[in-house]
Amino acid sequence: YLTIEGFKVIQEELYRNVALAIGAVAVIVFFTVASPMTTLLITANIAVSCDRTEVCFHCDDHAEFSSTSSCRLALLQFCLIEILGFMWLMGFAIDSVTVILLALAVGLSVDYSAHVGHTFMVKKSIDKNKRAAEALSDMGAAVLSGGISTFLAVIVLLFSDSYVFIVLSRQFCLTVLLGLGHGLFLLPVMLSWIGPKAFSAGQDLDAEEETTGKDNGKTLEDSEEGDDKEVTKVDATADESEAVMKDEPSEKA
């Protein structure tokens, strides 16, 4: 009886909990990143917009998505729908365990994109590709290290015989892998296309490049001047040696 009653309300619980999680994440990211467009792109990496998704529940505690399900991706919203797709391939039911882990996946997957997006906003340059590359250069290694440590923390649960631990470990691994892929590959490309302007107090990459070029040119000029001075000094020493050699025969005579 409890199982049947649970399946009767689980679809509504899934939609409501995931929507609330996405809304909470969007608000927090907005106040953290302080850019509506970047917030939209970060949230789009973890959210999914569905026109109609029919879930068929069976008495054998198994659920599957019907072939008539139609999902519309809005602004490249991938992460959750990819997790749901892998859940269907692995034969997981839409039950209380998977719904809880889907809500947790929203908070886990946004972490990687949020760091890259915030770093992109503090890099000033006319070229958005340069800003995205610098964001990955500064934050990519840290984001990757965080994902690997999370992955290693749950990988031991993959060999468990418990249903809860099996679902938890596989969904966590999917969340980490997909979150890293979106944060390190998809989001930088999206930002390089339609990313907003940087903060006014951000790091000016163009000015630093110009200053570095001037310093390199000055160093090269100083090096060339030093070489010229060395050559002049060597020539003067050679002239003095020749004069001394010419004076020695006359003194002997």
Instruction: Say if residue 149's pLDDT is above 80.
Output: yes
Which of the four pLDDT bands, split at 50, 70 and 90, describes residue 56? very low
Q: In this predicted model, what pLDDT tens digit does every residue of 72-87 receive, in sequence order?
A: 233 335 678 888 888 8
Q: In this predicted model, what pLDDT tens digit does every residue of 104-133 receive, in sequence order?
A: 888 888 888 889 998 999 998 889 999 999
Rounded CA separation 236/229 (Å): 10
Rounded CA separation 16/103 (Å): 10
CB 155 within 8 A of CB 89: no
The pLDDT assigned to 67 comes to: 28
CB 157 within 8 A of CB 145: no
Choice between 153 and 211, residue whose per-residue pLDDT is larger: 153
Which of the four pLDDT bands, split at 50, 70 and 90, describes residue 145? very high
Q: In this predicted model, what pLDDT tens digit does every residue of 157-216 receive, in sequence order?
A: 888 889 999 999 999 999 899 889 888 988 899 889 988 888 888 788 878 777 765 555
Distances (CA, A) of 118 to 41, 200, 241: 12, 14, 67
Task: Produce one character per residue of 45-58: b if its CB has 16 or more CB atoms within 10 Å, e if not.
Answer: bbbbebeebebebe
Instruction: Say if residue 231's pLDDT is above 80.
Output: no
**Sheet strands (E) in 5-140:** 50-52, 55-57, 63-65, 70-71, 123-124
Rounded CA separation 215/78 (Å): 45
Rounded CA separation 220/218 (Å): 5
Model pTM? 0.69
The residue type found at 152 is: L
